[in-house]
Structure 1
Amino acid sequence: MDLLRYVAFTDDPSGGNPAGVVLDAEHLDEPTMQATAAEVGFSETAFVVPRGGGRLDVRYFSPLAEVPFCGHATIATAVAHAHRHGVGELLLNTLAGEIAVSTSASPDGTVGATLVSVPPRTEPLADGDLAELLAALRWSAADLDPELPPRVAYAGAWHPVVAAATRARLAELDYDYDALATLMQRHGWTTVDLVHRESPTLFHARNPFPPGGVVEDPATGAAAAALGGYLRELGLAPAVLTVHQGYDLGRPSTITVTIPQAPGTGIAVTGTAVPYES
């Protein structure tokens, strides 16, 4: 097994969100993939089986469980593939569906990737579930932005979107790990997308990920895509949105989200990736 380590949504090896990438996973069974992800310890490790013609089968494992789709590991996988085979177009077959990805190199040699999510959608967040979620977060209803109602959003994985009224509230994240893990496992939520809207085109985000055995994800491309679909359904989506994440963890990440206005179309998520340095 050729296990690679990359950081996504950054051009700084000390920033971004680390992901494991295995580009030659043809002979790995599921227990081996899960054990490898646990040993790596990153929020996700991607396992790739090439199918020819730029088509890849990809599975994503956190330290505790498989997830249907992971944005940052997709960006890392695409850049790792480009470093080995050259930039171009890829089509990823994931448990969430087909994900088109394109890679390109900047003049300084940094490689970036853009993925296009499956069609996004949102669902209401029941009052009882919201109350339980806020209690686990140790937040109150007064902490929320009234212009961005809590909902559950999907663009390959499900994430409650909860908007804080202030950046300070977002920065003070200190949640009940066990309570939040139990709630999320009951509903099949991958992360909780906690956001603060600084402006119509700039959001800050934090993403607890206890079902995966991770306290917090430094950059979450799947949640960023879900956020784009959520904003479009509310009629609040700009053409291009920037999400800053990981700053409170000391791993700054920048996610660019391009939101087509046509309902039901996939959300584009763009970022760079570089080899990880511990």
Structure 2
Amino acid sequence: MKVERIAAFSYKNSGGNPAGVHFSDEMLSEKEMLLIAKDVNYSETAFLVKVGDSFRIRYFSPETEIAFCGHATIASGSFIGEKFGLGTYELILNGGSIQIEVSQNEGENYTSISSLKTHSKDVDKEYINKIIDGFSFNKEDLNEKYPIRIAFSGNNHLIIFLKDKTKMQEMQYDFESIKVLMEKENIVTISILYEENENLYHSRNAFAYGGVIEDPATGSAAIALGEYLRDTGFKKSGDIEILQGFDMKQPSQLFVSFSEVSNSSIKVSGSSRYISEEA
């Protein structure tokens, strides 16, 4: 079964977050999809089936099914654009549907995702303390301007801001203990962030939940950051840029746009590149 390998949210036609994209006439069984995802061994592989003018999509990490994956959706958009043409398409998820726009930008495949409704909420202090204990930074390294919260974008993401960029770059964590804590609250990634200015953020994303140490580009977490900024009032609307994966030598660039309407859909966009079989 052919699986396309596509790097989403690439930066100047390099880097990005690799995803598998598998297209078939009928949806495979969960067992088959999990086996393929394990074989591909990327953080996620997307499985697509055409349903009328729409596409049914499911996402699997090497360990489990994921409700939504931004970078695998961007990669899927690139594949759909190549196979079915540029335009706007509906993707049917397990818990709703989203729209993607597939275009070309300066010769690169460019896809935008309009998310499900979003929201954010506070986190129990005891839980926060346990999370911090599992990471290489401590409470004194937190940017107190930004409270730690959970933001939902189709998945739950824990949002943590640090006040020093170097601490973010040096981030490490205890994989097993953090994985247990993430599973307890159904948190898919932990976003460790540094604010360069109100429109530019640097990010690293711990992904123990999916059996992967770190994600080089996380579209779902980018949407969650937009929701976090809107819901807390730090940026009620507008555009932001997120640079991620640079510390992994997989530079990635994500663009997020959102309106001031509470809980409304948020758009994340980025370029993609096909990964050669020799890579």
TM-score above 0.5, yes or no = yes
1:1-278 equivalences under 5 Å are 1-10=1-10, 14-24=14-24, 26-53=26-53, 55-108=54-107, 110-237=108-235, 238-277=237-276, 278=279
Q: 1 CA distance for matches of 2:274 and 2:112?
A: 18
Mapped to 2, the partners of 1:96 and 1:198 lie a distance apart of 34
Gap regions ≥5 residues in structure 2: none
Percent identical among aligned pairs is 33
Give structure 1 regions of 4+ aligned residues with deviation exceeding 2 angstroms.
11-14
With the length of structure 1 as denominator, give the TM-score of the two structures. 0.96
Q: Conserved in 2, the CA contact under 8 Å of 1:157 and 1:222?
A: yes
Give the Cα–Cα distance (whole angstroms) in 2 for the partners of residues 195 and 119 of structure 1: 23
RMSD over aligned CA atoms reads 1.2
- 1:127-161 CA distance string (max 9 Å, x none): 01100000111321111111111001101000110
Whole-angstrom distance in 1 between the partners of 2:186 and 2:146: 22
Q: What secondary structure is seen at the aligned counterpart in 2 of 1:191? A: strand
CA contact (8 A) 1:19 1:42 kept: yes
Unaligned runs of 5+ in 1: none
Query: Whole-Å Cα distance in 2 between the matches of residues 251 and 49 of structure 1?
Result: 29
Tell me how far apart the structure 1 counterparts of residues 264 and 170 of structure 2 sit (CA, whole Å). Answer: 35
For this pair of structures, how many residues does the alignment match? 276
Counterpart CA distance in 1 for 2:273 and 2:106 is 15
| Counterpart contact for 1:2–1:24, Cα < 8 Å | no
Deviations 1:206-235 (A, max 9, x none): 001112111100000000001100100111
Q: Which amino acid aligns with 1:79?
A: S
SS at match of 1:39: helix
User: What is the identity, as a one-letter code, of the residue corresponding to 2:22?
Assistant: V
Relative to 1, partners in 2 of residues 1:197 and 1:27: Cα closer, same or farther, differing over 3 Å?
Answer: closer
AA aligned opposite 1:209: F
Contact 2:11 2:252 in 1 (8 A): no
TM-score w.r.t. the length of structure 2 is 0.96
Q: Deviations over 1:37-57 (max 9, x none)?
A: 01111010000111021x111
The one-letter code sitting in structure 2 at the alignment partner of 1:124 is: D
Displacement, 1:14? 4.4
C-alpha deviation, 1:275, in angstroms: 0.4
